[in-house]
Amino acid sequence: DGGITQSPKYLFRKEGQNVTLSCEQNLNHDAMYWYRQDPGQGLRLIYYSQIVNDFQKGDIAEGYSVSREKKESFPLTVTSAQKNPTAFYLCASSRDSRTGELFFGEGSRLTVL
């Protein structure tokens, strides 16, 4: 079954801890994205990657880091420097970065206690 898999679905973290959210796709897509979804604020782009071993900051990259060592994987680390990390995180992919047709994962909800 092709698609995007995010894990974990729910995650709790203590303040001061880093946490990594997993995103895997088997669609053979070049481009991958991480968004943050907060009530009333729509989707805000954190990081994106157009191709393996390359990634760029989005609009709200501070306090986050990513890697793209494999085409199918684009993990997001929420560091302790992120001031307001409690949120719903969405991973997406697209055939390439020149299309707005994105395929999304089911999301990961991070709660910082």
Shortest Cβ 13–other proteins spacing (Å): 23
Chain-centroid distance of CA 45 in Å reads 9
Shortest Cβ 39–other proteins spacing (Å): 9
For 85, counting Cβ atoms within 10 Å of its Cβ (0-12 exposed, 13-18 middle, 19+ buried), the class is: buried
Would you give the binding string for other proteins spanning residues 36-55, x where CB under 8 A is met?
----xxxx-x----x-----
Residues 71-90 binding other proteins (CB under 8 A) are: 90
Give the nearer residue to other proteins in terms of CB position, either 82 or 94.
Answer: 94
Binding residue for other proteins, selected from 21, 101, 111, 113, defined by CB under 8 A: 101
Strand order in the sheet with 4-7: 4-7, 19-25, 76-78, 64-66
Q: Are 25 and 84 in contact (CB under 8 A)?
A: no
Residues that bind other proteins (CB under 8 A): 40-43, 45, 50, 90, 92, 97-107
